[in-house]
Amino acid sequence: MTILNVLSDIFKNHKHLYFAGAILIVLGTGIYFFIAYAKLLALFLILCGFCCFLYGFVDGLKSSNNGIIAFFCRFFKITFLILILIFTVSFAAIQLLIINNAKDEDLYSKYIIVLGCAIDGTEPSDALKCRLDKAAQYMSIYPKSTAVLCGGQGINEITSEAQVMYDYLTYRGIDSSRLIIENNSHDTRQNIIEAKEIINSKESGNIPQVAVVSNGFHLYRAKLIMKKHGFEQITTLKAATPPSFVLILNLHLREYFSVVLEYFNI
């Protein structure tokens, strides 16, 4: 009965926190099962919901008569709040870097690198279509430019991303002689490494100026990786991002974690 009374008091004192946690869990679960492209956002919301429950429970125990329990509860609370502060500040800082580097630089580059993205059967996804439309527009303006199309075949894909990109651009009227397929890579870092090898094989001297094509949220990390791998003259071509609020949240959240991992070379 004593335990039940304690739990009841904890709930009464933190019912708003538990209510918020329940909403986050329900919302995250709904997104997970009904919006296939936003699973990271869904899992993040569910995790936040459980953290609300855990924080409320631990905060309620900090006034326990047991000194050891009270100490560990206070320690947990302080640690938890510090971690939230670190996440909030770092998330805001990285989002500012992402926004500031999402530029559309209309300068001639001999090569453009079109970064891979998910495909839907033999058709590009909405995000990839935006990248390809930007590449087609640029190549129409600069007829001497060559595009390196990056992306291998994913686990649930029936063909390579690069092949879908090639088909789309040739359909848009871009001459096939200006398109190079790179279908061995499976993430942004591999895209850039493989593209560099292709460009090196065609250039006897230093790598000329290269433009990278991707959606705005992706360009900061792309430039970060390119600089690590020896690209010195880099311009960016900002493709549009599909106008879906949930998708944009998911992409920026994923990009935050990807940038953090890139900082640590993971």
pLDDT digits (tens, 9 = 90+) for 207-237: 899 999 999 999 999 999 999 999 999 999 9
pLDDT band at 6 (very low <50, low <70, confident <90, very high): very low
Distance CA 80, CA 198 (A): 47
pLDDT digits (tens, 9 = 90+) for 111-128: 999 999 999 999 999 999
Domains in the chain: ranges and CATH: 2-100 (no CATH), 111-242+256-263 (3.40.50.620)
Higher pLDDT, 134 or 106: 134
pLDDT band at 63 (very low <50, low <70, confident <90, very high): low
For the chain, give the mean pLDDT.
91
pLDDT score at 2: 56
Distance CA 158, CA 156 (A): 7
The torsion angle over the Cα atoms of residues 24, 27, 31 and 32, rounded to 10 degrees, is 60
Distance CA 144, CA 43 (A): 45
pLDDT band at 89 (very low <50, low <70, confident <90, very high): very high
pLDDT, mean of residues 151-169 = 94
Q: What are phi and psi of 147, to 5 degrees?
A: -105, 135
pLDDT digits (tens, 9 = 90+) for 187-215: 999 999 999 999 999 988 888 999 999 99
**Which percentage of the chain shows pLDDT scores above 90?**
78
Distance CA 111, CA 167 (A): 19
Residue 3, Cβ density class (10 Å: 0-12 exposed, 13-18 middle, ≥19 buried): exposed
pTM of the model: 0.89
DSSP codes, the chain: -HHHHHHHHHHHHTHHHHHHHHHHHHHHHHHHHH-GGGHHHHHHHHHHHHHHHHHHHHHHHTT-SSHHHHHHHHHHHHHHHHHHHHHHHHHHHHHHHHHHT--------SEEEE----EETTEE-HHHHHHHHHHHHHHHH-TT-EEEEE----TT-SS-HHHHHHHHHHHTT--GGGEEEE-S--SHHHHHHHHHHHHHHH-SSS---EEEEEEGGGHHHHHHHHHHTT--SEEEEEE---S-HHHHHHHHHHHHHHHHHHHTT-
pLDDT band at 3 (very low <50, low <70, confident <90, very high): low
